[in-house]
Amino acid sequence: MLNQTFVTEFILQGFSTARELQILHFMVFFFLYLVTMVGNIIIIITVAQSNNLHNPMYFFLAILSSIDFCFISATVPKSMGNSLVNSNVISFTGCVTQVFLVVSCATSEIFLLTVMAYDRYVAICHPLKYKLIMNWNVCLHIILIVLVFGVINGAFHAANTFHLDFCSSHIIKQYFCDIPQLLKISCTNTEINEKITFGLVLSIGSFCFLFVSISYWCIFSAVFKIQSTQGQYKVFSTCVPHLTVFCLFVFTVMFSYMRPKALFSPSLDLLSAVLYTILPPLMNPIIYSLRNTEIQMSLRKMQKKYFRFHVLS
């Protein structure tokens, strides 16, 4: 069905239009974006440069940082740019691109975090078979499947959302093109779209949560059988950061897309969007660098090597 009125652009109204608050919004988002970029780049470089981190667990972590890099870059730079030039406009193509990238990255991230739980399960519960099960060929195929599924899901949601009629309504009460907000401003009956979005988010979220829960139930059952306190600490130092990151991401995404309509409000919508698009990419490198001893040791070695090089030169 053809659109009754073809919308060429949307207006993003997530934040205040007061100039002083726009500058504040730019400064806050710039700081968060910079910290996120630096943190994730450090993780990627650390894994790439440290031979002791060349194993599936840290390979997945580097891919996670790469996804987070793309995830936050899909929304925050545009929002910062709009605030800086005092404009809230985003083109129709730009809006489609944002929906595609946000859903693709979110889908890839949740499945990658699920795979990382399985990787920890194999490493701890079946250590003798670990290299056979999680060999590099398997890891590369897993990453390929995760990314392809993310792209397919992103393309599906973009097509499912933008085949709707938007008529004259083009004001999005969000800081980026968010699917729930786009469904609200459509002049088409969106009941089927809402059910599809709800069903997919519920299915993916529930499957991943169940899979991770079973993996960690097996892991913790095995850990408590370990007599050595040092051995238990080593396992917890690698598992707790991942479990924290997973829960943070899953619950913020599911809250954003599945909360009851009675809880919908502009301020809560904005908060939930920030929680799942900015907080996970920001917190992931912080959580892993603070809780993971091998990452900390590799970072210290890189710092010593860097300073030694500059002193000698």
Q: Residue 144 pLDDT more than 90?
A: yes
Tokens read off for 165: 């009629």
Q: Residue 49 pLDDT more than 70?
A: yes
Angle at 153 between CA 88 and CA 205, to 5 degrees: 100
Q: Residue 143 pLDDT more than 90?
A: yes
Domain map of the chain by residue range?
Answer: 9-301
Query: Where do the H-state alpha helices sit in the chain?
Result: 19-49, 56-73, 76-84, 92-125, 130-133, 136-162, 179-185, 191-223, 229-258, 266-277, 279-291, 293-312
Higher pLDDT, 231 or 149: 149
Q: Residue 275 pLDDT more than 90?
A: no
Provide mean pLDDT across the span 174-178. 90
Residue 265: count of CB within 10 angstroms of its CB: 10
C-alpha separations of 156 from 16, 169, 273, 308 in Å: 32, 23, 20, 51
pLDDT in tens, 52-76: 888 998 999 999 999 999 999 999 9
Computed over every residue of the chain, the mean pLDDT equals 86
Q: Residue 51 pLDDT more than 50?
A: yes
With cut-offs at 50, 70 and 90, classify the pLDDT of residue 1. Answer: very low
With a pLDDT cut of 90, the percent of the chain lying above it is 44
Cα(236)–Cα(182) distance, integer angstroms: 42
Query: DSSP characters for 140-167?
Result: HHHHHHHHHHHHHHHHHHHHHHHTS--T
Cα(279)–Cα(71) distance, integer angstroms: 11
Higher pLDDT, 169 or 261: 169
Q: Indicate the DSSP class of residue 89.
A: E
CATH class of 9-301: mainly alpha
Q: Residue 181 pLDDT more than 50?
A: yes
β-bridge mates for residue 12, sequence order: 172
